[in-house]
Amino acid sequence: MKAKTALDDSLERDTPMTATYLGVLLVEAVILGALWVLGRLFS
Amino acid sequence: MHPVDWAVVVVYLVWIVYDGLRRSKGTDKVDGYFLANRSLPWWAVGLSVMATQMSAVTLVGTTGQAYATGLRFIQLYFGLPLAMVILSLTVVPFFTRARVYTAYEYLERRFDVRTRSLASFLFLVGRAFSLGVTLAAPSVVMSAILGWTLPVTVLVISVPMILYTTIGGVQAVAWTDVKQMFVVVGGMSAAVAVLLYGILHSVSLGDALHLAGATGRLKAIDFRFDPRETYTFWSGMIGGLFLMLSYFGCDQSQVQRYLTAKSIDEARHSLLMSAFVKIPLQLLILTSGVLVFVFYLFQTPPMLFNQTYDAQVAASPAAGEYAALEKDFNAAIDARRAASGRGERSAFLESDAHVRDVRAKAAAVVRRVTGDQRYNDVNYVFPTFITTRMPIGLVGLMIAAIFAAAMSASGGELNALATATIIDFYRRHFVTQASEGHYLTVSKLATLFWGLFACVVAMYSANQGSLVEVVNRYGSFFYGSLLGVFMLAILTTRATARGAFWGVISGMVVVLTVAFSPWTRDIAFLWHNLIGALVVFVVGMAISMCEPLPASAQAVAGGSRSGQ
């Protein structure tokens, strides 16, 4: 069996990113809210 | 164009080719040529992901669309952030750990070679023609604007791109994408600055927003649930989500971008960069279009921005009618300008409606005289503004930005076409044992072949409006099906090879039926992605449940899932 190399280890670097995912959704919610307000304010 | 602007364009083209070729170091093996030895940082991959998605049509077409209808096109991207989160959690670790060159390679490990070849073939056919269209659409507009012939414009855009992509491989594509993104964002920011400078001479920012808003151009969100409407909140959130899942998760031109990342984490970051930046970037582009509309409230625009047929109309019996429309148009523009300046809402809306009416009549005259029933001027609005209203130097920058967008989108696609050809077909079916040097040489030849093929398609499709439409629709025929087969591969261990293969066929048949049936053809194309994916999944699972799960598939599926 092939031994695991340093490259394999670095390639598999896999850390949880829950906070980033929530950040993505929060930013989108803020943008959608801002667009909705913009449309209401200037119509 | 001023010589300074030509100089900017020439310097840009020389620089991008030089830089692309400089980046070809380390591409002496297939792994380097197609995957950059999995060595790229997340921010470079992230910019390359966005550059590949943003074609020149995005710059010239989207701005024109915003000029005509406002910000509502942004809804297409509402599903993108969630899609990126889902892909980061699912396919990114799968593909990275599987050490694949193509997304379809994974399908053979999970199902069989037949499913892999079918998926890769669908990608090759769809992407090869869409690459031609990616080159054709801006070439048609730019040849009219710059006064070049179409073949010259196609070659000016494609030859540098083919050169650096063929010699430098994915590494050259990614690093030139990074620079091209800066050129595009710099150019668009400069355009917004020039527009604001011009507008604020005539009106305050608040009044400008009220004028744009009065015509509905700032209404970005439409909550109506109507499957016939292409851009609504729901079509963007649901149909758009499935489109983005398919595009970023199953289309080799995107998957290959993040396979070049150093690690699973870096690949995720590269996708999440789009999740954060794509909507604001698209808003910047759309805002430019809306600002061009406000700008032309106080400046006189041409009656029609696409003046390709001006001479033909002037020499036709309809010349008198056209001249009368022009006179009417100028009067309507004067009335609209006066109403805009006074802030009289109803007078402004009335005169704006009159302007639109005259423009529609003029376009109808052009169609009648030339027989070109597809004539419109949406894609010509922004290039006309650039070449007639922007200061010297910035015109060159903007032309360079349009070329950059065309090259960055097509370079990634070209590189992906060569990868799928060599890895999924040539190395898998025809020459299975050969040296690295041999595979590298045929990879370069494949890149060159697809580049030349795209040039031919570009020159042909430019005069075949229907072909462009067919190619665009074709994408939605197979995207949903591709997503469906990857859902079968990743989400369940029960799906079998037979289920996956016939599921894809069923998905495509159903989507084609929906697209062409007189009862359902009004359904907007974004929903085709959802329909295709669901049909593949349901049919695939139904067939799979009727047969035992092979032990080998069980092992692969189990192994993949344990890596989650």
ipTM given for this complex: 0.86
Look at residue A4 in the predicted model and tell me its pLDDT. Answer: 59
Give which of B99, B113, B122, B125 is closest to B500, Cα–Cα. B113
* pLDDT tens track for B100-109: 999 999 999 9
In angstroms, the Cα distances linking B248 to A9, B102, B103, B464 are 25, 13, 11, 29
Residues in B touching A9 (Cβ below 8 Å): none
Consecutive H or E run containing B17:
helix B3-22
Q: How far apart are the first and last CA of chain A?
A: 67
Cβ–Cβ gap B213/A43 under 8 Å = yes
CATH superfamily membership of B3-296+389-460? Sodium/glucose cotransporter (1.20.1730.10)
Q: A5: pLDDT confidence band, cut at 50, 70 and 90?
A: low
pLDDT over 60 at B449, yes or no: yes
In angstroms, the Cα distances linking B92 to A7, A11, B153, B441 are 17, 12, 38, 29
**Average pLDDT of B473-480?**
76
Q: Please, what sign has the CA dihedral across residues B194, B197, B198, B199?
A: positive
Alpha helices in B420-464 (DSSP H): 436-461
Q: A9: pLDDT confidence band, cut at 50, 70 and 90?
A: low
% residues pLDDT > 70 (chain B): 95
C-beta pairs of A5-13 under 8 Å, 24+ apart in sequence: A7/B38, A10/B262, A10/B263, A11/B38, A11/B96, A11/B262, A11/B263, A11/B264, A12/B96, A12/B97, A12/B263, A12/B264, A13/B263, A13/B264, A13/B265, A13/B266
- Among A24-33, B132-141, B159-168, the range scoring the smallest mean pLDDT is B132-141
Query: A 1-43 residues with CB below 8 A of B?
Result: 7, 10-15, 17, 20-21, 23-25, 27-28, 31-32, 35-36, 38-39, 41-43
pLDDT over 50 at B564, yes or no: no
**Average pLDDT of B537-549?**
92
DSSP helix/strand/coil, B40: strand
**Average pLDDT of B414-423?**
96
**Average pLDDT of B445-463?**
89
* pLDDT tens track for B504-516: 999 999 999 998 8
% residues pLDDT > 90 (chain B): 70
Cβ–Cβ gap A43/B209 under 8 Å = no
Instruction: Identify any residues that bridge with B40 across adjacent strands, giving them in sequence order.
Output: B261
Residues whose CB falls within 8 Å of the CB of residue B538, separated by 6 or more in sequence, listed in order: none
DSSP one-letter code for B2: -
Give which of B265, B344, B278, B213 is closest to B50, Cα–Cα. B278
**Average pLDDT of B177-202?**
93
Cβ–Cβ gap A24/B275 under 8 Å = yes
Range among B126-130, B361-365, B464-468 with highest mean pLDDT value:
B361-365
Q: How far apart are CA B392 and CA B400, in angstroms?
A: 13
**Average pLDDT of B553-560?**
50
Residues in B touching A43 (Cβ below 8 Å): 213-214, 216, 218-219
Look at residue B470 in the predicted model and tell me its pLDDT. Answer: 57
* pLDDT tens track for B346-357: 999 999 999 999
Q: B467: pLDDT confidence band, cut at 50, 70 and 90?
A: low
**pLDDT mean across residues, chain A:** 84
* pLDDT tens track for B261-272: 999 999 999 999
Alpha helices in B70-204 (DSSP H): 80-89, 91-98, 103-110, 113-146, 150-200
**pLDDT mean across residues, chain B:** 90
- Among A16-20, B198-202, B476-480, the range scoring the smallest mean pLDDT is B476-480
Secondary structure, 3-state, B241-284: HHHHHHHHHHCHHHHHHHHCECCHHHHHHHHHHHHHHHHHHHHH
**Average pLDDT of B361-374?**
92
Q: Where are the domains of chain B?
A: 3-296+389-460, 309-375
Q: B70: pLDDT confidence band, cut at 50, 70 and 90?
A: very high
Look at residue B22 in the predicted model and tell me its pLDDT. Answer: 87
Cβ–Cβ gap B71/A14 under 8 Å = no
* pLDDT tens track for B529-542: 899 999 999 999 99
The nearest CA of chain A is from the CA of B39 a distance in Å of 9
**Average pLDDT of B164-186?**
93
Look at residue B342 in the predicted model and tell me its pLDDT. Answer: 83
Q: Please, what sign has the CA dihedral across residues B245, B249, B253, B256?
A: positive
Tell me which residue in A12, A27, A35 faces B221 most closely, judged by beta carbons: A35
